[in-house]
Amino acid sequence: TGRSPQVKAFVTQDIPLYHNLEMKHLPGADPELVLLSRRYEELERIPLSDMTREEINQLVQELGFYRKETPDAPVPEEFQFAPAKPLPVLRPPQAPTTDGKTPPKWDKEERPDL
């Protein structure tokens, strides 16, 4: 099976410009974007086969990956730990603490594990 020239162009020309975005070649596998937490837990898989290079770039930027001007350009401090597009967090109900107060709940926009 042939790989999309759009995906190949993204892999060879665009990935080096993104901070914290890495390519892992898996022979025979369809191209997909695998989002991992800071603990390398899989969060989501997004198939890329039917996407254009522009669509993939837009998606990656919407997910919060920082795009540098050149592969060796410095990354601003506020983007060192990017990306971090929040995904819904499902948490079990919180029990009150020993002092009778309910612990704070994570806002759905917060992802401490990203």
pLDDT tens string 8-36? 999 999 999 999 999 998 899 999 999 98
Q: Per the structure, how many domains does the chain have?
A: 1
- CATH code of the domain covering residue 53: 3.40.30.50
**Does residue 90 lie in a domain region?**
no
pLDDT score recorded for residue 104: 53
Q: What is the mean pLDDT of residues 96-111?
A: 54
pLDDT tens string 32-68? 999 988 888 999 999 999 999 999 999 999 999 999 9
Pairing status of strand 32-36 against strand 42-47: antiparallel
